Structure 1
C-alpha cells in the first residue's frame, strides 16, 4: 500500500447504496483509530478482540446518526466479559471526523483466554442508545444476547427493534509493520434493506421469539436480500481489513451488478470528550454530605475516565450543589 491510499481510506466509513437491490450500506476501515482505542487499556486477548469488534460495529452504525448526536453500544453479560461499551460522537459539522471510544469491564479470574471470546459474555443483552443532545430523552433499544457473535447480536437487534434486515461482515487483526511494531486494523461491511418493512412484521414471530430478515421482507425483497448476502459471503478477511484493496474497489468486486453508488466518506478518529468541567457537572446533583463520602483521606475527590484513563482531582468544597468555594 502506498501512502496516498493510506491517507485516503484508513479511518473512514464509506456510505453506499445498491440501487438494483434497494439496499444501503457502509464500508469501514479503522487503522490508527482502532489502535488508539485499544491502546488506552491493557486488555487480555479475548477482551481486546471483543472491544475491537464492538468499536467497528459502532463506527458502521454510528456514521448514519445526525450531526451532534451520540450513539452508544453496550453488551452486558453474566460471564467474565461483564460489559463492553462504545460511543460514537457524530461531528457537529459535516465532513469533520466522528469520534470513537470504547472500554470493557471483565473478571480476570474467570476469564478463559483460550476460549471463544464471544462465549465469555454469557447471558445478557445487547443495547443501542442514541443521545440527541440537551433537552431530549435518549432513545434505548435492547435485545437479548443471541447467535454466536457480536454481529449476530446487532443483526437481531435491527430485525427485532427496528424491523430492518441488516447484515455485518467484520474482520479485525494485528498488523506487524516493518521494524516489528504491532498495530490493530479492522474492516467491515454493513448491509441494510431500505426501510420498507412488511406490514406483517409486527405480528411475526421468529425463532426464539426474535425476528429475522425472512420474517420482515416480501418475496421479491427477500430474493434481493438473499442475493446481496450471497455476494457478501464471498468477501475475505484481508479484503475487509485492507490495505491492498480500497473500499471502492471492494464495493465493485462484490456488488458491481447491483448498481453500487457511493457517497462522501466519513472520517473517524479516537476521541474522548471527558473534561474536568463535565465531571463537575455530573457531581453537581450531590449534597455536601454525599461529596464527603467521596472524599479521600488526602482531602480530595478523584475521578478516572473509564474510556481514556484521564485522572481528575478536585477540592470537595468546590463540588455539589452546596459548594462553598468556586472552582
Structure 2
C-alpha cells in the first residue's frame, strides 16, 4: 500500500513504521465499534468516556497480536469506577475483522463532577494475552498512575515491557446534520522498536510512583529520535484524529514525511461478543441440582445477562448442571 492510497478508515487500525527513527506505530479510528460497545449500557458521561478511551487503547494495542489470540485490558480500582474490562479477539483468518467488546462496573452514588479519570482511584492497570489452548496466558500489571488511562498504558509498556510508548488519543460525541449524535474516537500509537538489551538508568523510574518512562529506557541516540517523533506527533489536530475527512495515510505524510513512514495492511475491527447460551450452560455445568435451585427465579427460570453486550439468557433449570435431566423424546 502506498502512502497516497485512500482507505475508508472508520473502524480500522493502520500499522506503520518510521524507518529513520526505528519506531513502529498504529493509527486507529473507531465509530461503529464504540456504538456497539456503549449503546447497551446507558453509562453516565464520565464512564462512557473512560470506556471509549479504553476501547481505543485496546484497538491500538491489540493489532499486534496473532490470529485467534485474545488480548484483554483491565483497570481495577478503589474509585467510583471499580472496573473497566476490554477484550480484543484477533481475526480467525487474514483479512477478517478483529472484534472488540468492553464494559465498566461503577458505583453511581460515588461519581463526582470531576474529570472522567477522577472517577478512578488507586488500583492497577493490566494487560493479559491468551494464546489459546495449551498455552499459559501472559499477564502484566502496573499501578494506576499518570492522570489518564493512556498514561497508565504508557507506564505499563515502559515498566513491564521496557518499551518506550506514546499515545495521542481523541474521543467524544460527534454530531453532524442529519446524523444522530454518537461517539467517535481516533488515535495514534508510537512505540520504539524493542532492543535486545534495553537501557535502564537507576533503580527506579522518573514517572509517577517511581515507574519507568521513555527517557529511562532509551540511550542518547534512540532518545533523540524518539523525542523528534513525539514533537511531530504533538502537532496533530483533533479533527485529523477524529474527523471523517482525513485518511490515515494523509495524516502520516503530514506528520512524519521526513521520517520515511511505511504503512502495512489495515486491520478492520468490529464490535463483537463471544457470549452464547451454550457458554452459559457450560458455566453452570459444575453445579448440582441443589445449587441450581438457589439460582432459580420466582418464575422458575435460570437467567443470565452478558455484561459486555447485554444479551439475556432464560433457561430451564432442569436442563443445566451436572444433574441435568435428559430432554424427552
TM-score above 0.5, yes or no: yes
Deviation at 1:136, TM superposition (A): 2.5
Question: How much does 1:285 deviate?
Answer: 2.2
Give distance in 2, aligned partners of 1:72 and 1:170.
19
> 2:245 maps to what in 1?
244
Would you say 1:306 and 2:289 are equivalent positions?
no
1:215 aligned residue: 216
CA distance in 2, matches of 1:138, 1:277: 23
CA 195–315 in structure 1, closer or farther in 2 if over 3 Å, else same: same
What's the CA shift for 1:273? 1.3
Aligned-partner Cα distance in 1 for 2:245–2:8: 13
Displacement of 1:201: 3.1
SS in 1 for 2:108: coil
5+ residue gaps, structure 2: none
Matched, 1:148 2:151: no
What is the CA deviation profile of residues 287-306 of structure 1, one whole-angstrom value per residue up to 9, with x for unaligned ones?
Answer: 33322221222221111000
Distance 1:193 1:199 in 2: 11
Aligned to 1:64, what secondary structure does the other structure show? Answer: coil
Counterpart CA distance in 2 for 1:17 and 1:46 is 34
Matches within 5 A, 1:103-118: 103-112=103-112, 114-118=113-117
- Give, in whole Å, the separation in 2 of the partners of 1:285 and 1:220: 57
Point out where structure 1 has 5 or more consecutive residues left out of the alignment.
Answer: none
2 CA distance for matches of 1:28 and 1:180? 22
Question: What's the Cα RMSD here?
Answer: 1.8
Q: Does the 8 Å CA contact 2:7/2:247 hold for their aligned counterparts?
A: no
Is 2:162–2:198's contact at 8 Å kept on the other side of the alignment?
A: no
Equivalences for 1:89-104 in 2 at 5 Å? 89-104=89-104
Cα distance in 1 for partners of 2:215, 2:164 equals 8
Q: Is the 8 A contact 1:198 1:216 kept in 2?
A: no
Residue number in structure 2 paired with 1:81: 81
SS of the equivalent of 1:9 reads coil
Q: CA deviation at 1:180?
A: 5.3
Q: Is 1:188 aligned with 2:187?
A: yes
Describe the superposition over 1:83-136 as per-residue Cα deviations: whole angstroms up to 9, x where unpaired.
111111111101111111111111111111x31100110111111111112232
Asked whether the equivalents of residues 34 and 185 of structure 1 are also in contact (C-alpha less than 8 Å), the reply is yes
Counterpart position of 2:256: 255
The equivalences for 1:138-177 within 5 A come to: 138-177=137-176
Matches within 5 A, 1:1-16: 8-16=8-16
Output the TM-score relative to the length of structure 2. Answer: 0.93
Indicate how the Cα distance of structure 1 residues 135 and 313 shifts in structure 2: closer, same or farther if over 3 A, else same: farther
Comparing 24-33 and 237-246, the one that deviates more: 237-246
State the alpha-carbon separation in 1 of the partners of residues 255 and 203 from structure 2. Answer: 32
Distance 1:199 1:38 in 2: 39
3-state SS of the aligned residue for 2:110? coil
TM-score where L is the length of structure 1? 0.94
